[in-house]
Amino acid sequence: MSRQTDVVVIGGGQAGLAAGYHLRRRNLDFTILDAQDAPGGAWRHMWDSLRLFSPAAFSSLPGRPMPHQFGREYPDAAHVVDYLTAYEHRYDLPVVRPVRVHGVHRDGARLRVETDAGTWSARAVISATGTWWRPFLPAVPGREVFTGRQVHTTGYRSPEQFAGQRVVVVGGGNSGAQIASDLALHGGIEMMWVTRRPPRLLPDHVDGRALFDVATARRRALEAGLPDSGGVASLGDIVAVEPVRAARDAGLLKAQPMFARLTREGVVWADGTAAGADAVIWCTGFRPALSHLAPLGLRGRRGHLATDGTRAVGEPRLHLLGYGDWTGPASATLIGVGRPARDAAHRIRDLPA
Ligand SMILES: Cc1cc2nc3c(=O)[nH]c(=O)nc-3n(C[C@H](O)[C@H](O)[C@H](O)COP(=O)(O)OP(=O)(O)OC[C@H]3O[C@@H](n4cnc5c(N)ncnc54)[C@H](O)[C@@H]3O)c2cc1C
């Protein structure tokens, strides 16, 4: 026996909650299925020193501003978890957890959602499962022979895990810069930061708020047929949040070029230079967690599915939310997910009954 509803939202992180907010406003009947046993999505698993790259007021979901975190202009992950928990309760969003979705199938006029807690049948599905659950590790030679510890960003919590060790941090994005800074500032850890190309720190005054403005201006310009400014990517890659600034100003944030391979004891560059290491932290990004959509046989490239806005090309009853800019500008941010969530709810309401 399957449970009937208008819409199933898969994932109860920020994107799933923003979808819920807009579905409720359109009087649609819906259920949010979330694999975790508590609210907060990926934020529950992020490292202790992580700071948002925007102030609280610029990290808000639709309808309810994120409150200021006492003593912190840029809130930590625990504050986001508290905010998402309160948001869920404030709007009385029907989140069922823990429920893991295994597959979404076509079933005549409806979609069938198979889970470890039974089956749901819906007119439409919004997939909002994020990326944290699919860490990406590059194919670097020697990864299997290295005898030290290897963790991905998802396994990092605090410098104490690496006390007294020689640690190589790989990756020139925000996670790499923040974790490298965290380790470098801790003391007692021999940290080396390696990046494929020289890291590009944004100017100190450019935070997530400014990036959002740039992305919005770019979208408007493109919509108006004006030339592409290059948007956010033309400014740099790394937001100089407080720990990154502190490490940079102390001269501790110097990057080395990427090594060629790992050995049993460490890493080696193409010119033969070697360095010993006890651990490697791979801050090398994520891929969208979409395996539950495989039964639909949709096409895509590099782990993304083809979309028109949030709607899947090839399955108009399926929308994708969050993940990255390919599901809407800034869709994978707290402040940016509201707009694509609204569009998805709007288009679902207009689906033929
Ligand atoms: C290190 C880091 C720092 C970031 N900093 C910022 C920042 O400062 N500001 C900002 O706006 N954004 C930031 N982001 C980006 C983004 O806001 C977060 O990644 C956010 O967690 C994305 O929310 P989401 O709801 O799309 O996905 P998630 O938070 O990952 O939520 C998805 C939910 O779906 C569930 N799920 C997954 N698969 C299934 C399944 N098959 N069945 C049922 N449930 C499932 C998961 O358990 C999870 O609860 C950051 C991201 C990272 C990685």
Structure confidence by residue, pLDDT tens digits, 297-312: 998 887 789 999 999 9
pLDDT computed for residue 235 by the predictor: 53
Q: Which residues line ligand 1 (CB under 6 A)?
A: 10-16, 33-36, 41-43, 46, 52-54, 59, 100-101, 128-130, 132-133, 175, 208, 289, 292, 322, 332-334
**Which ligand 1 atom is the nearest neighbour of the CA of 153?**
1
Verify that 308 and 263 share a domain, yes or no. Answer: no
Verify that 18 and 119 share a domain, yes or no. Answer: yes
Structure confidence by residue, pLDDT tens digits, 47-96: 999 999 889 999 999 999 999 999 988 899 999 999 999 999 999 999 99
Burial class (CB within 10 angstroms; exposed 0-12, middle 13-18, buried 19+) of 288: buried
Q: What single DSSP character describes residue 144? A: T
Verify that 184 and 82 share a domain, yes or no. Answer: no
Q: What are the C-alpha distances in Å from 279 to residues 50, 147, 172, 189, 257?
A: 20, 9, 18, 11, 18
Verify that 259 and 159 share a domain, yes or no. Answer: yes
Q: How far is the CA of 293 from the centre of ligand 1 (A)?
A: 18
Domain boundary among 282, 315, 336: 282
Q: How many domains does the chain have?
A: 2
Verify that 10 and 64 share a domain, yes or no. Answer: yes
Domain boundary among 267, 282, 297: 282
Verify that 169 and 119 share a domain, yes or no. Answer: no
pLDDT reading at 348 higher than 60? yes
Verify that 111 and 166 share a domain, yes or no. Answer: no
The mean pLDDT of 168-176, rounded to a whole number, is 95
Is residue 10 in some structural domain? yes
pLDDT computed for residue 80 by the predictor: 98
- CATH code where residue 329 lies: 3.50.50.60
Query: Per residue, what are the HEC states of 278-345?
Result: CEEEECCCECCCCHHHHHHCCCEECCEECEECCEECCEEEEEECCCCHHHCCCCCCCCCCHHHHHHHH
Half-sphere exposure of 335 (CA within 13 A, CB side): 18
Report the predicted TM-score, pTM, of the whole model to 2 decimal places: 0.94
Q: How far apart are CA 210 and CA 297, in angstroms?
A: 39
Structure confidence by residue, pLDDT tens digits, 73-82: 889 999 999 9
The one-letter amino acid code at 181 reads S
Is residue 224 in some structural domain? no
Structure confidence by residue, pLDDT tens digits, 203-217: 888 777 766 776 677
- Contact call for residues 349 and 28 (beta carbons, < 8 A): yes
Residue tagged 């500008």 (tokens): 329
Residue 69 structural domain: 3-133+286-349
pLDDT computed for residue 221 by the predictor: 72
Domain boundary among 257, 282, 307: 282
- Looking only at the bridges linking them, the beta strands covering 279-282 and 149-152 are parallel
Write the DSSP assignment of 40-82 as a string of letters.
-GGGGGS-TT-B-SS-GGGSPBTTBPPPPBTTBSS-BHHHHHH
Q: What are the C-alpha distances in Å from 314 to residues 18, 27, 133, 300?
A: 24, 26, 25, 10
Q: How far is the CA of 329 from the centre of ligand 1 (A)?
A: 16
Is residue 142 in some structural domain? no
3 state SS of 270: coil
Structure confidence by residue, pLDDT tens digits, 112-149: 999 999 999 999 999 999 999 999 999 999 999 999 99
Q: How far apart are CA 220 and CA 211, in angstroms?
A: 14
Structure confidence by residue, pLDDT tens digits, 185-195: 998 999 999 99
Q: State the average pLDDT for the chain.
A: 93
pLDDT computed for residue 300 by the predictor: 83
